[in-house]
Structures are given as C-alpha cells and as structure tokens.
Amino acid sequence: MSDPLSRWNFLPAIAAVDEILPCCGSRVWAERMAARRPMPQEESVLAASDEIWRSLKESDWLEAFRSHPRIGESQAANVAQPLSAAWSKQEQRKVAQADESLKSALADGNREYERRFERIFIVCATGKCPAEILGILRHRLQNDEHTELQEAAEQQRQITQIRLRKWLRG
C-alpha cells in the first residue's frame, strides 16, 4: 500500500473527500470513494473509481467536467482546486506550446462545442499533440447529444484514472 493511500484510509471522512476530489471533480464521486475506505491497494482504488463513476448521474458528470479548464486555457471557469489546476496545466502542456494558429483553431472549436453541447469539451489530453486534440474535437462535434455525453464521460474516467495514479504516488 502506498503512503498516500495508507494515510488517506485513516483520514476523517470530510478530509478524505477533500483530498481525493481533485482527481475527478465530482463531489458525489469523492464522497462515495471515501465511503469505500479502507482500500488495501492501488488496484482497488482504480476499480472502485470506475464502478462509482459509471453509477453517477449526469449532473455529477457535468460537475466533474466543470472542474477542468478549456483545452488551451489554464484555469477552469469555476475555480479548480490547486492540485486539479496543476494537473490540468501539466496535461495540457503540449497545447500551451502550440503555434498561434492551432491555439486559435482550438479556441474556435471550444466555442462551437460549447454552443452545441452547452458544456466544455473534455478530452484526455495526456500524451496527445494539439493537432490530434483538434482532430478529436472536430470529430466529436459530429456526435449526437447522447453519444457525446457518453464519450465525454469516458474521457473524464480516463483523466480520473491518470490523476488517481499520480495522487497515489504522492
């Protein structure tokens, strides 16, 4: 068991929720994760996260989405927790280094996505170059509402898994 997991298993419930919340951004998810403690190993944390995420309501998913900045921006519209903001910056570092025309195209795509779906575009940006993200954005603009919500939720699930692994490493 990692040191962060060992410590988290014994925190008071409210502190445990607050500590794990940056990994996802949904308070209900964080509360349910904390309620599952103690968790003996990393694999149990990751499995519980997926199970809980898939059981959440759409409103909980949307709360998690709002904890992210737009692709190409450094801060979420609602002030993200410092750890979440730092992770977002790290996840989007390739976008921050993109040329201005690509950044502009991403900004235009973000605006179009928000007009169409009334939420920000969520993509697991880790390991993806800006052109790849733009291609994904353009492709997903063709989705219907239900398909896109499911895709956004899957992207958030992937982001959460990556962040949980970072958190567990301390």
Check: CB of residue 93 under 8 Å from CB of residue 53: no
Q: What is the pLDDT of residue 18?
A: 95
Q: What is the pTM of this model?
A: 0.89
pLDDT reported for residue 89: 64
- Distances in Å between the Cα of 155 and the Cα atoms of 4, 6, 65, 71, 99 are 25, 28, 10, 13, 25
- By 3-state DSSP, what share of the chain in percent is helix, strand and coil, each rounded to 5? 70, 0, 30
Query: Cα separation of 73 and 89, whole Å?
Result: 8
- Which phi and psi angles does 160 have, rounded to 5°? -60, -45
pLDDT (tens, 9 = 90+) of the chain, 170 residues, equals 679 999 999 999 999 999 999 999 999 999 999 999 999 999 999 999 999 999 999 999 999 999 988 887 655 555 456 766 666 666 666 666 778 999 899 999 999 999 999 999 999 999 899 999 999 999 999 999 999 999 999 999 999 999 999 999 98
Q: What is the pLDDT at residue 1?
A: 61
Those residues with Cβ within 8 angstroms of residue 64's Cβ, 6 or more apart along the chain or in another chain: 24, 25, 26, 29, 156, 160
Q: What is the Cα–Cα distance from 127 to 10, expressed in whole angstroms? A: 34
Three state DSSP letters for 88-131: HHHHCHHHHCCCHHHHHHHHHHHHHHHHHHCCCCCCCCCCCCHH
Q: Tell me which fold the domain 3-169 belongs to.
A: UraD-like (1.10.3330)
pLDDT of residue 87: 67
Going from the C-alpha of 112 to that of each of 17, 26, 81, 148, 153, the distances in angstroms are 34, 25, 27, 14, 19
State the residue for tokens 């014994």: 10
pLDDT at 170: 84
